Amino acid sequence: MRYGVVAEELASEVLADLSAEAQREALQLAELAHADPRAWPDVRDPGSIEEIREAFGARCWIQYMPHNGAIEVREIGWAG
């Protein structure tokens, strides 16, 4: 992915299987999350020390973890 956005292996595999349009939307959403990572809801389990957030677009969503100026995308979903 782009600078400041890292994808876990599963998220990379999902992204590779999406159409070009879906990939663009998912990458744009990741860039929005990277620009302001704490603007999206924290969905971590109670007691978890990992900060996990979810961002939603028109037809996709991502689950990510903020890391010192970057985000790690853990999951990508597509409803289009």
CA distance 73 to 8: 6
Of the candidate ranges 3-7, 17-21, 45-49, 56-60, the one whose mean pLDDT is the lowest: 3-7
Provide the pLDDT for residue 80. Answer: 80
DSSP line for 14-46? HHHHS-HHHHHHHHHHHHHHHHSGGGSPB-PPT
Q: Residue 1 above 80 pLDDT? A: no
| Interval 24-42: pLDDT, tens | 999 999 999 999 999 999 9
What the chain holds in terms of domains, given with CATH numbers, is: 5-78 (3.30.2310.20)
